[in-house]
A = this chain, B = another copy of it.
Amino acid sequence: MKKPSIPKGTRDFSPEEVAKRSYIMNTIKSCFTSYGYQPIETPSFEKSETLLGKYGEEGDRLIFKILNSGEKVKKADLRALEEGNLARFSNSLAEKALRYDLTVPFARYVVQHQNDITFPFKRYQIQPVWRADRPQHGRFQEFFQCDADVVGSKSLWQEVELVQLYDAVFSNLRLDGVTIKLNNRKILSGIAEVIGAEDKLIDFTVALDKLDKVGEEGVKKEMLEKGISETALTKLQPLFSFFGSASEKLAQLKKLLTTSEIGLEGVSDLEFIVASVETLGLQTAALEIDVTLARGLNYYTGAIFEVAAPSEVKMGSIGGGGRYDDLTGIFGMKDISGVGISFGLDRIALVLEELDLFPETVSENTKVLFINFGEAESLYAMKAITKLRRANIPSELYPDAAKMGKQMGYADKRNIPFAVLAGDNEMASETYTLKNMKSGEQQEVSFDVLVAKLK
């Protein structure tokens, strides 16, 4: 019989992996709570109509659809299959689909429950999402997203707070040296306006986004190919020698964007955020202006965030987000502005692993194993174990009176730091022989001392 296996692109998580992931999630949750964000959860699958058409054509293809149950498969649109219209054929077979991200379900939630929600609504959500992407190294068909958003206020204090929140999470994870990059859609629009390429905003930002990959010449080449003029490129020149602190960069941008109202608005937004963050202080993160930062440009209307891992680790962004002015418009609820950030859990786990930043205690579980010497001894052990457990000291009895070596081997493999040996002598004197599994040291102690040693 062939060993069973799981679908490509999915993962089993062992106890140690769950412990590490929980450590990250609990750290994030605890920061979210300090900042006043509240958890919600939405169903794993939504009606297909809720998801389809929200992520572009490529996105639609990557949505996992759930086959209708029972008689409903009879509705299969066979003509669509004959015509080779696989999307229509698929849609005729599936009324539900697995969540592709947390943003669209959140928008749906806000609209559906608008009468029960107190705005501004600060919510967080940590749940799995599914994408029918071709599985490859580090890309999975099932992975967790972790989002914090606030909807119903245009206040820039939210942006300030989200920068602080990133700093708080990474500081608490002891991941020092992350860089929080900041941009603003209005600045990108302003630049496009100033150089006379307003109609080419997307082409322009896509090219600019590649600056650190292809360099100045590469970016210019692509812009020319896309029909952006030489004159425009000359006006753009200051961006290529853009440097200094966040405030210095903003001063340079102000000069460049002097004729663009929207551009200046973007600069002013960022000035407020940068000045506030500087006054309030960050613990370990750096804040940087990055005008090449675009991310889902169609989506964001104001601030854009991205977090880069410390430079000694080669890793893409470990977080990102921004302000969007019309999250819920897709479901008919207009003028609800929102701003949010997300954390890349899998990548954060990889970074902590690489830098050896998981606390040693993260996968510690059972504290003490009682060796099983037979029925009477086990009952004696179980009396102690029952009390230890009620005192929240994780304890186990080896379930069978197996050979000593086997029982000790179990303690070793499970990383259990202490063993208790209690036979006739200990039972007679109501004591326990406590063995330190690392040092090998042994000591005969009373129950009270046992508790104290294990606490």
Question: Which A residues are closer than 8 A to B by beta carbons?
Answer: 1-7, 10-15, 18-19, 22, 30, 33-36, 38-47, 50, 61-62, 64-67, 69-71, 73-74, 76, 78, 81, 86, 89-90, 93-96, 98, 108-109, 111-113, 116, 118, 120, 122-123, 128, 130, 132, 142, 150, 153-155, 157-158, 160-161, 164, 168, 276, 279-281, 283, 331-332, 365-366, 378-379, 382-383, 386, 389-390, 392-397, 399-400, 410, 413-414
Contact = CB atoms under 8 A, between A and B. Distances in A.
Contact of A413 (B118, B276, B390): B118
Contacts of A74: 81, 86
Q: Please give the count of copies of this chain that the complex contains.
A: 2
Contacts of A331: 1, 3-4
A13 B41 contact: yes
A65 B46 CA distance: 15
A43 B379 contact: no
Contact of A69 (B3, B61, B71, B396): B61
Contact of A33 (B11, B96, B365, B397): B365
Given A67-B66, A118-B414, A7 B61 contact: no
A280 B112 contact: no
Contacts of A280: 382-383, 386
A5 to B, nearest CB: 6
A190 to B, nearest CB: 24
23 contacts: A2-B332, A3-B332, A4-B47, A4-B112, A12-B42, A13-B40, A13-B42, A22-B39, A33-B394, A34-B392, A35-B389, A35-B395, A38-B365, A44-B130, A62-B69, A65-B67, A66-B66, A73-B89, A73-B90, A153-B400, A168-B390, A279-B379, A281-B386
Contacts of A40: 12-15, 18
